[in-house]
Structure 1
Amino acid sequence: MRLHVDRRHERLLELVRERGTARVADLARELGVSPVTLRRDVEMLAAQGRLQRLHGSVVWPDDSAVREQGRTAAAPGAGTVVGMVVPTTEYYYAEVVRGARDAVEACGARLVVALSRYLPGEDAAQVERLLGAGADGLLLTPSWDRGEPAAGEGRWITELPVPTVLVERSAPHGHPVAALDRVRSDHAHGAAAAVRHLAALGHRAVALAAQESPTSGRLRLGYEAAVTALGLTPAPRLVHDPAATEAERFEWTFAYLRGAVEEHGVSAAILHSDADAIVLVPRLRACGVRVPDDLAVITYDDEIADLADLPLTAVAPAKRTVGRRAAELLLSRLADSAGPGQHLDILPELRVRASCGASGGSSVTPGARSPSA
């Protein structure tokens, strides 16, 4: 039987006073409420000075020994549960999740993963489920179409009752979500590194053919900045119809690349993603556009680029590092040792293979000088 809120608060205070410290998940179970409800009770009582709230635990106030015990109980380790919401565990996010798992399990905690599948409203639903299951903190990759929230979108994340770190997502300055911790790949820097490499090989007209995704906006920013900084010739922009089918999108991209070479003097291109490049490069070669002779190609993601018939030079985001660093940041928050909020950008790596016309088999960090042809 559920207790009335006032009676529940009284019973909560009794339990914490008797024990000195207790985990939120255990108290919620004993009182017959969800961890989310219990956390709200704790926040109210803590604001009144009747309890001390620590991440994942509640401590009876005004007892230094008990407070120290509470900190020990709240520190990441056995019993700590980290919830992680990602759109999918296929391709890109598989490595991100592995990196997070490495960090979480290294300190004896547990990672629980939920999938949104890019479905409307599913981010919040999965977060609620994880909190109900006792998650002490969250790693969250919202299903934002452009990798950033639209106006008014995502504000609910700032109201979550547990520490939350955004993974591979960010928010514009001034948006409430922008104050949250985040760890992401610096896709703009990765695209710029690809442009710099192609310019070092002598290419003066470089195109970008990127499918619309949460990554594409940052790719275009880096591409345009590098083209301007290096004084290259801007290529016509590829525009996709959001309502187009997959087959139509491939046809437009193919026609765009062929026209860029034959009509606009483009001699190099950055393609997103690997899967697109593996389809498009053979079609280009079949119609007489030689890769890399007529069109040097660098792809983005490096999931399967090295498995293509013509191994593809690729920019490889450090996905596993992103997941690991995000989990480490969250764990430090749970231990109350992270300090000020943090925005971490992890630089991708350029992996040189045959498709760009340079010597393959080497890796180039984005800030390093690209090898010459």
Structure 2
Amino acid sequence: MREPVDVRRRQILATVQARGEVKLTDLAGELEVSIITIRRDVEELTRAGKLRRGHGVARSVVPVQRAEPAAEPPGGTVGIVVPERHAYLFETMNGAREVLQAAGVRPALLIAPQAPGTERPIIERALAAGVQGLLLAPRWRSTAAEEGDYDWLAATTADVPAVLMERRPRPGSVLHAMDSVCSDHWYGVHLAVEHLLALGHRRVVLAARDDSPTARAVRAAFAAIAEERSGGERWDVISSAPDAEPDYGPGTPVELAALLRRRGATAAILHGDVDALVLVQQLADAGLKVPQDCSVVAYNDVVAALGHPPLTAVAPPKSEIGRMAAEVLLRRLGHDGRGRTAGGAVAPSRVELLPALAVRGSTQAVTTV
């Protein structure tokens, strides 16, 4: 499913600002939309004064330092590695970009394709090109893929400052002491559950992805909280979309409406936003109204507010994650955040930031007959 127009335009703006100049055909290929759509988006961003349009290219309105030694920014260059077509992490990347640029450091956006193992050559090329540090959000579709990256990532970043964003390596692993900044997803799920319980809901279903570290953290948190707060009721977990599993094979249809009816559940937590919007439409097709028949809380809050009705959503601090990660990296690089060098060793950090809950029109109190 393609990204909404405002999300896509933020991705275009971030990509052009990171690279300085990008061909429109390249943007169309990376975002998987038509060249006509890209031209329309770039024209709108140009009218808003956010980009400059050239012949077949989009240019940043902010001058970008080039590779000549004399043009290198005073703080050098930091690589930001994020998966392609990931609106959540693009918001995180933008938060990091603001902090880095304010410190005189050039952010270089490095987008990893969806195929497994694509981060490794990208990171190795960036290090060979002389980046001074890395902000990393590996895709890690499965626990096995994550564990399989630990040794090489530890070895590759042994002499280069690196910070993980929205990723928390397994305790006791070789990456345990690697700097990381992520959301407290247990707290995010806790907010959603407590909101639904306060509205009188006692049977809750989680429809969630299982193909990212965030998805696995949400599932684990729901299981732990259900054990404590379900009051003996069965709280089920299903996949939120046919492609939500770690493998790339064909998925099974999501039967949320049937499960809600079978369990007598009156509320659902849906991860992530785009899947949540699709599932709400499926509930409507099955004759279940939101929130009258089923209250819905989305998890991520990237596009949840655009739903009909607008979806109540858990909002991890996406931009703040990026800003904090950049600040940790700058301290590791010896910057004080204003482009100056600061002395002293920096202890490794594992930072967690708390999500918030945005209450909208998709949740209401249980109606008793």
Q: Structure 2 length as normaliser, TM-score? A: 0.70
Matched, 1:356 2:363: yes
Matched, 1:206 2:213: no
Q: Which residue of structure 2 lines up, in the alignment, with residue 93 of structure 1?
A: 89
Q: Which residue of structure 1 lines up, in the alignment, with residue 325 of structure 2?
A: 326
How far off its partner does 1:102 sit? 0.7
How far off its partner does 1:283 sit? 2.4
In 2, distance between residues paired with 1:186 and 1:136? 29
In 2, distance between residues paired with 1:119 and 1:149? 12
Code of the aligned partner of 1:351: A
Give secondary structure in 1 for the equivalent of 2:320.
helix
In 2, distance between residues paired with 1:143 and 1:291? 32
Give secondary structure in 1 for the equivalent of 2:130.
coil
Alignment map for 1:218-229 (pairs within 5 Å): 218-229=217-228
Distance change in 2, residues 1:147/1:331 (3 Å): farther
In 2, distance between residues paired with 1:204 and 1:91? 32
Alignment map for 1:235-274 (pairs within 5 Å): 235-238=235-238, 242=247, 244-245=249-250, 249=252, 252-253=253-254, 255=255, 257-274=256-273
Distance change in 2, residues 1:175/1:295 (3 Å): same
Q: Which residue of structure 1 lines up, in the alignment, with residue 295 of structure 2?
A: 296
User: 1:203·1:268 contact (CA, 8 Å) conserved in 2?
Assistant: yes
Give secondary structure in 2 for the equivalent of 1:293.
coil
How far off its partner does 1:297 sit? 0.4
Code of the aligned partner of 1:339: V
User: 1:86·1:142 contact (CA, 8 Å) conserved in 2?
Assistant: yes
Output one character per residue of 1:168-189: Cα deviation in whole Å (capped at 9) or x when no partner. Answer: 1121112101110101122222
User: 1:149·1:171 contact (CA, 8 Å) conserved in 2?
Assistant: no
How far off its partner does 1:244 sit? 5.0
Q: Which residue of structure 2 lines up, in the alignment, with residue 187 of structure 1?
A: 185
How far off its partner does 1:229 sit? 2.4
In 2, distance between residues paired with 1:112 and 1:118? 19
Output one character per residue of 1:353-373: Cα deviation in whole Å (capped at 9) or x when no partner. Answer: 010126xxxxxxxxxxxxxxx
In 1, distance between residues paired with 2:345 and 2:237? 42
User: 2:189·2:218 contact (CA, 8 Å) conserved in 1?
Assistant: yes
Distance change in 2, residues 1:278/1:89 (3 Å): closer
Q: Which residue of structure 1 lines up, in the alignment, with residue 17 of structure 2?
A: none
Output one character per residue of 1:198-238: Cα deviation in whole Å (capped at 9) or x when no partner. Answer: 01111111110012221221111221222222244232332
User: 1:196·1:226 contact (CA, 8 Å) conserved in 2?
Assistant: no
Output one character per residue of 1:236-255: Cα deviation in whole Å (capped at 9) or x when no partner. Answer: 3325764553xx55xx32x2
Alignment map for 1:37-48 (pairs within 5 Å): none
Alignment map for 1:68-79 (pairs within 5 Å): 78-79=74-75
Q: How many residues are matched?
A: 276
Q: Which residue of structure 1 lines up, in the alignment, with residue 54 of structure 2?
A: none
How far off its partner does 1:110 sit? 0.9
In 2, distance between residues paired with 1:202 and 1:344? 34
User: 1:275·1:304 contact (CA, 8 Å) conserved in 2?
Assistant: yes
User: 2:312·2:357 contact (CA, 8 Å) conserved in 1?
Assistant: yes
How far off its partner does 1:282 sit? 2.4
**Higher radius of gyration, 1 or 2:** 1
User: 2:315·2:357 contact (CA, 8 Å) conserved in 1?
Assistant: yes
In 2, distance between residues paired with 1:118 and 1:230? 37
Output one character per residue of 1:275-312: Cα deviation in whole Å (capped at 9) or x when no partner. Answer: 11212212212322121122110011111111112111
Q: Which residue of structure 2 lines up, in the alignment, with residue 50 of structure 1?
A: none
Code of the aligned partner of 2:261: E
In 2, distance between residues paired with 1:267 and 1:114? 43
User: 1:146·1:216 contact (CA, 8 Å) conserved in 2?
Assistant: no
Distance change in 2, residues 1:243/1:156 (3 Å): closer
| Unpaired runs of at least 5, structure 2 | 1-72, 335-342
Alignment map for 1:1-373 (pairs within 5 Å): 78-88=74-84, 90-146=86-142, 150-159=146-155, 160=157, 161-214=159-212, 215-232=214-231, 233-238=233-238, 242=247, 244-245=249-250, 249=252, 252-253=253-254, 255=255, 257-335=256-334, 337=344, 339-357=346-364
| Unpaired runs of at least 5, structure 1 | 1-76, 359-373
In 1, distance between residues paired with 2:85 and 2:96? 12
In 1, distance between residues paired with 2:144 and 2:200? 35
How far off its partner does 1:119 sit? 2.6
Output one character per residue of 1:112-141: Cα deviation in whole Å (capped at 9) or x when no partner. Answer: 111112333321211111112211111111
In 1, distance between residues paired with 2:87 and 2:269? 19
User: 2:75·2:103 contact (CA, 8 Å) conserved in 1?
Assistant: no
In 1, distance between residues paired with 2:295 and 2:108? 42
RMSD of the TM alignment (CA)? 2.1
User: 1:278·1:305 contact (CA, 8 Å) conserved in 2?
Assistant: yes
Q: Percent identity?
A: 39
